[in-house]
Amino acid sequence: MKTQFYILLSIKTPQGFVDYGQYFLGDDRRAANGLFGQLKGSLYIKDSCLLHIDLMEMVGELPVKIKTICCTLDELAYNARLIAKAVFRLKNLEEIE
């Protein structure tokens, strides 16, 4: 069973959290954890978080949440740039190998 990792972006609405974006990271656990560790944000606190970022693992057909952080809009902008650079690097290295 192949494991895949991705980052899930969510925003809080009156109806609850709504997912609005995903970044697929591939199957390298170490790379996914390393990238998530570089993201700006704070520990997830249920009622005070409007934007959150989840590190997810897809095991077979089942998504599993590994870690969650809350972030401000400025932190989200920083994180989106960091994630885009990392995904570009990861995907281009896959093609070289």
Q: Which pLDDT belongs to residue 1?
A: 62
4 Cβ contact partners less than 8 Å away, ≥ 6 residues apart: 24, 25, 26, 27, 57, 58
How confident is the prediction along the chain (97 residues), in pLDDT tens digits per residue? 688 999 999 999 999 899 999 999 999 999 999 999 999 999 867 667 899 999 999 988 899 999 999 999 999 999 999 999 998 888 887 555 5
Q: Which pLDDT belongs to residue 59?
A: 87
Apex CA 18: angle with CA 12 and CA 23, to 5°?
Answer: 110
Q: Which pLDDT belongs to residue 10?
A: 95
